A and B are shown apart, each in its own frame.
Chain A
């Protein structure tokens, strides 16, 4: 991957890369602050704010009561007042108690005010399973957040991308939902795969929204995915290469805006598409990508396979969770199927 070679001098975990971007933006502007549960003294349950309290203090790294409607709505208000809040919803699963503030204020106020207000807010949230925490703490919910207009939705899969996308998110004048997968963060108690820890330049840089990343070039089949499953797809591609199948792996990186051009270009080349998502299958990312390709590149499309969570709440027990979350072998099998 090109980005790794650009910055091989220093490797960071994804959480360190995110924190570095936040710290840089906070030094640049007094308007940037962070608000959420256990983000100060604890440093974020998933290390998303680790170390920030020491430099910035409780005034700017604000622990708040467990009352998401209140503090996420307050983030919207602060953003409309011209500040640049970064607000954490500890688990994406918890959106239910505060979705009105997210969907009806954060996402819509710019539109409803005819552009009179902007809401330059980042809503960070942890997603994903693979550690047996059951149905209320393991969902990915990309589709839920990307479904309603008005928010930009970002899903990094590497430290390099996390830093660049976070800089962009904080500088963006619109609300951005920044969905990080717990398994990618590089937390001590939840080992990450090798992939997300990458070289990261010390200087600030941005990665524009709406530009997917071709993580592996290939000629036989296009695998479109995001988050943790980028790394699983890359592992599957290595297995498939041994069988003589050359898979191209595309990391979407942002869901809103969605880089359909990169996907279409790849499908026009390979003619075969596999979409992999850790969110539910129905009405989700896989359906969206397949529909987009069907609309714009139907003639080039020879075979399609979708791999996502079947429409079941995420079960607790290890064999059950393993069954429903797509694994490396599942992805390899799906690719073999479209190969025919």
Chain B
């Protein structure tokens, strides 16, 4: 669990460096080796690591737009994930998805860049598992800003009434971009929303990966045993802006400080030391994680960019009859000089 957490943290630190490289001195979102938006999850590691430690490759995870720590904990191929974030041909989605849209069928991992929209597909994966009499489970991760979405409520209801093996994990970092939680809901404890659907709701405070692990173990065990869904809300902290480049002018300094004071990684390190794990062992785990991350990033950067023609591939798995293969428009009419 600790190795997943330090891998995720270091991975994002390295991504941040790479992302900013081409975007200075003036920040231009479309410049640099990593284009587009980048939503980092520093401070969220406890939830991904604590939950996914109970999962197998056949279990499904859907992640939101801030997916890296969950992907790492679920065992998504780190090299191909990195290549995808760099927009390379050998990336998970051949450079078509990018960092918010990571898909790895080998470990049943998927993402959506649209708030709460990973919930219904997770319910669907759980439904498939139940119909096939399998014991695989599905976990939908989402932020606390997403739990006002209709899709979330509908998913809780369907999962509950069908007794599906699905766990909803809400990462409560108190901020939905610029909106503090206190201004979007009067229900401070988001796990209480489970009450309305007659399913168990659990809240884990203080970025505590061990407590997450225990709560998730119970919930996932319940799901595997055919006893239906659970909602878990985990208090995490957003140490960064909503996305890279977000100046966070809306956010009080005290809140930013609070977010860095409460650190899941420091917390689990303290726990490990308390259990008698020695510093050199912790350091060794860290080093291994750093090596793995550096290797993935170096590998990804060496990968080729996709050929422009590849933009027209993969629209359909099987092009339906009557639908011609899409061709580049100007080539089709011979205008290329």
Contacts and interface: CB of A to CB of B under 8 A. Distances in A.
A134 B146 CA distance: 21
B177 A37 contact: yes
B178 A330 contact: no
A64 B178 CA distance: 11
A189 B148 contact: no
B29 A38 contact: no
B305 interface: yes
B222 to A, nearest CB: 29
Contacts of A333: 330, 335-337
Contacts of A310: 311-312, 326-329
A101 B14 CA distance: 43
Nearest to A93: B114
A318 to B, nearest CB: 6
B311 A324 contact: yes
B37 interface: yes
Given A41-B178, A65-B185, A97-B114, A134 B333 contact: no
B49 interface: no
A93 B115 CA distance: 12
Interface stretch (A21-29, A66-74, A257-265): A66-74
A136 B335 CA distance: 30
Interface in A52-77: 63-67, 69-70
Contact of A137 (B95, B113, B151, B308): B113
Given A38-B179, A310-B326, A134 B98 contact: yes
Interface in A163-187: none
Given A42-B250, A319-B305, A330-B330, A133 B114 contact: no
A311 B315 contact: yes
Interface string B147-178: 01111000000000000000000000000111
A305 B315 CA distance: 24
Given A70-B148, A318-B305, A63 B179 contact: yes
Given A63-B178, A134-B97, A312 B145 contact: no
A334 interface: yes
Contacts of A337: 330, 333-335
Contacts of A67: 148-150
Interface string A304-340: 0111101111011111111110000010011011000
Interface residues of B, number: 60
Nearest to A53: B250
Given A311-B326, A312-B315, A189 B28 contact: yes
A131 B308 contact: no
A65 B186 CA distance: 11
A131 B244 CA distance: 14
A96 interface: yes
Contacts of B178: 38, 40-42, 63
Interface string B12-45: 0000000000000011111000011100000000
Contacts of B87: 132, 316-320
B27 A135 contact: no
Given A310-B312, A312-B326, A316-B36, A66 B176 contact: yes
A94 B310 contact: no
Interface in B54-94: 84, 87-88, 91, 93
Which of A45, A137, A322, A330: most chain B Cβ within 10 A?
A137
Interface in A4-44: 37-38, 40-42
A101 to B, nearest CB: 11
Which 10 residue pairs are nearest across A and B when measured between Cβ atoms?
A317-B95, A132-B35, A316-B98, A317-B87, A41-B250, A323-B308, A42-B178, A65-B148, A131-B30, A333-B335
Given A66-B179, A317-B305, A320-B306, 4 more contacts: A66-B145, A189-B28, A317-B88, A320-B87
30 contacts: A38-B178, A63-B178, A63-B184, A65-B148, A65-B184, A66-B115, A66-B148, A97-B115, A97-B116, A130-B30, A131-B29, A132-B98, A134-B98, A134-B101, A135-B101, A137-B113, A188-B27, A189-B28, A189-B29, A310-B327, A310-B329, A311-B315, A311-B326, A312-B311, A313-B96, A319-B87, A320-B95, A330-B330, A333-B335, A333-B336
Interface of A: 37-38, 40-42, 45, 63-67, 69-70, 93-94, 96-97, 130-137, 188-191, 281, 305-308, 310-313, 315-324, 330, 333-334, 336-337
